[in-house]
Structure 1
Amino acid sequence: MKIAVTSASGQLGSAIVKELIEQIGKDNVIGIARTPENAKHLGIEIRKADYDNRQDFDKALQGIDTVLLVSGMAEPQKRIQQHRNVIEAAKSNGVKKIVYTSIVGDAEKNAFSPVVQSNRQTEKDIQNSGLDWCIGRNGIYIEPDLEYIATYIKEGEIRNCAGDGKCTYTSRAELGVAYAKMLLEEKHNGQIYNLVGEPITQTQLADYINQVYNTRLVYNPVSVEAYATERKAALGDFIGTVIAGIYEGIQSGANDIRSDYEEASGRPHKLPVEMIKAVKNN
């Protein structure tokens, strides 16, 4: 059985590849990357393909039984067609099953909603493909908060517009475990799973970071408008708006959802403090 993983050079793709190698060995895992050199460290066969190029995927998916489609990073409308390039190539090349990394979130009510909508459209495209399929809806990764920790320490606070809203954080390593099972086990076919952990507030997040990193961070909420202005100034309009929309979604409860992680992976999701320790020690 040959499994291909798109965006293998990215952090999520790499985590899934590593988990698959442990389960089925290097010879059965193929990485697909726009820039193959960036995925060489994985030690598997890497095939070149760009989401914008359907012909690339016609070559890259030859001899593949199952493909993992990692959601692209382009703006929402462009992303839908990019994903269709992979789905159509999978159908044409005899791929039997497609697994997709979607996201949790509200498709209607905030600045992150257009990204959620584009993911929901790809979910529909996959369900209508005629292939076996399984979809994971990823929670918010905890890693970016920990990558940002130097800034938090400098400012003495975590500041955003999530308020008292709860977020079911996950990590790329936890997702790697779940997606490997979803790719390998037929019992997951036709399922959509919320791949999320325990719901926590930003105040709890600050407390857990303080425990693990011996810091003294506090959480301070700001308005959605103020946070959007701040993030756009720091990150540019598109990414700034998306990030603010994510925290607006947390505030309104879009990320306080039931977890299907144990059903997908066969084990309980790690607790937030365990994930923070794992990232720190990695």
Structure 2
Amino acid sequence: MKIAVTCASGQLGSAIANQLIKEIGKENVIGIARTPEKAKHLGIEIRKGDYNNSQEFDEALIGIDTVLLLSGMDEPQKRIQQHRNVIEAAKANGVKKIVYTSIVGAEENNAFSPVVQSNRQTEKDIQNSGLNWAIGGNGIYIEPDLEYINTYVKEDEIRNCAGDGRCTYTSREELGIAYAKMCVEEKHNGHIYNLVGKPIIQTQLADYINQVYSTNLVYNSVSVEDYATERKKELGDFLGTVIAGIYEGIKNGVNDISSDYEKATGRPHKSTLEIILEYKKTD
């Protein structure tokens, strides 16, 4: 069985590829990357594949049984066609199965919704492809918060617009384990899983970080408008709007969902505190 992982140079792609190597061996895992040199650290065969270039994917998917399609990072409307390029190349090459990394979230009512809508369209495209499929709904990664700790410490606070909304955080490593199983095991075919942990509120997140890092952070909630303005100033209009939309979604309860993680992996999702403790060890 040959399994190809797209966007293999990225953090999630690498996590999935590394887990697949443990499951089925290096010789059976192919990485696909827009810039192949950036994925060489994986120690597997890397093929060139840009989502905008269907011809590259026609070549990249030769001899592949299953393709793990990572959701692209481009603007929502561009993503739909980019993903279709991969789906069409998979069909043309006799690929038997597509596993897609989608997201949880609301299709309406916040600034992140257009991204969610584009993911839902790709889900439909995959379900209508005639191939076997399995789809995961990624929760929000905890890693960006942990990478941001120095800023939190400098400002003595975690500040966003999530309010008392509960968020089911996950991690790239937990997702890597789930997607590897979904690629390898046929029992997941035809299923959509919420790949998330147990829900917590932002004050709990601050408490956990304080426990692990001996910090004294407090959580302060600001309005959606103020947070959007702040994020756009720092990250630019597109990314700032998306980040504010994610936290607005948390505030509105769209991330307070039940987890299917155990169905995908055979074990419960690690707790947020466990993930933070493990992250600190490798930091």
Provide the TM-score with structure 1 as the length reference. 1.00
Aligned residue runs from structure 1 range 115-134, under 5 A: 115-134=115-134
Aligned to 1:199: 199
2:238 corresponds to 1:223? no
Aligned to 1:44: 44
2:106 corresponds to 1:106? yes
Q: Which one-letter code corresponds to 1:153 in the other structure?
A: V
**Rounded Cα–Cα distance in structure 1 between residues aligned with 2:18 and 2:213:** 27
Aligned to 2:265: 265
Aligned to 1:235: 235
**Rounded Cα–Cα distance in structure 2 between residues aligned with 1:260 and 1:130:** 24
1:281 shift after superposition: 1.1
1:31 shift after superposition: 0.1
Q: Secondary structure at the match of 2:83?
A: helix
Question: CA deviation digits over 1:13-57, x for unaligned, max 9?
Answer: 000000000111000000000000000000000000100000000
Q: Secondary structure at the match of 1:108?
A: coil
Q: What is the identity percentage for the equivalent residue pairs of Structure 1 and Structure 2?
A: 80
2:76 corresponds to 1:83? no
**Rounded Cα–Cα distance in structure 2 between residues aligned with 1:264 and 1:42:** 24
1:12 shift after superposition: 0.1
**Rounded Cα–Cα distance in structure 1 between residues aligned with 2:158 and 2:36:** 37
Aligned residue runs from structure 1 range 66-77, under 5 A: 66-77=66-77
1:138 shift after superposition: 0.1
2:56 corresponds to 1:56? yes
Instruction: Report the number of matched residues.
Output: 282
Please, what is the CA RMSD of the aligned residues? 0.3
**Rounded Cα–Cα distance in structure 2 between residues aligned with 1:231 and 1:276:** 24
**Rounded Cα–Cα distance in structure 2 between residues aligned with 1:48 and 1:4:** 12
Q: Which runs of 5+ in 2 are unaligned?
A: none
Q: Secondary structure at the match of 2:69?
A: strand
Provide the TM-score with structure 2 as the length reference. 0.99
1:280 shift after superposition: 1.1
Q: Which one-letter code corresponds to 1:108 in the other structure?
A: E
Q: Secondary structure at the match of 2:31?
A: strand
**Rounded Cα–Cα distance in structure 1 between residues aligned with 2:133 and 2:281:** 35
**Rounded Cα–Cα distance in structure 2 between residues aligned with 1:263 and 1:209:** 29
2:138 corresponds to 1:138? yes
**Rounded Cα–Cα distance in structure 2 between residues aligned with 1:238 and 1:278:** 32
Aligned to 2:18: 18
2:213 corresponds to 1:213? yes
**Rounded Cα–Cα distance in structure 2 between residues aligned with 1:68 and 1:281:** 29
Aligned to 2:32: 32
Q: Secondary structure at the match of 1:107?
A: coil
**Rounded Cα–Cα distance in structure 2 between residues aligned with 1:86 and 1:118:** 15
**Rounded Cα–Cα distance in structure 1 between residues aligned with 2:140 and 2:10:** 16
Q: Which one-letter code corresponds to 1:261 in the other structure?
A: Y
**Rounded Cα–Cα distance in structure 2 between residues aligned with 1:278 and 1:50:** 33
Q: Which runs of 5+ in 1 are unaligned?
A: none
**Rounded Cα–Cα distance in structure 2 between residues aligned with 1:272 and 1:141:** 10
1:278 shift after superposition: 1.2
**Rounded Cα–Cα distance in structure 1 between residues aligned with 2:180 and 2:243:** 28
Q: Which one-letter code corresponds to 2:151 in the other structure?
A: T
1:279 shift after superposition: 1.2
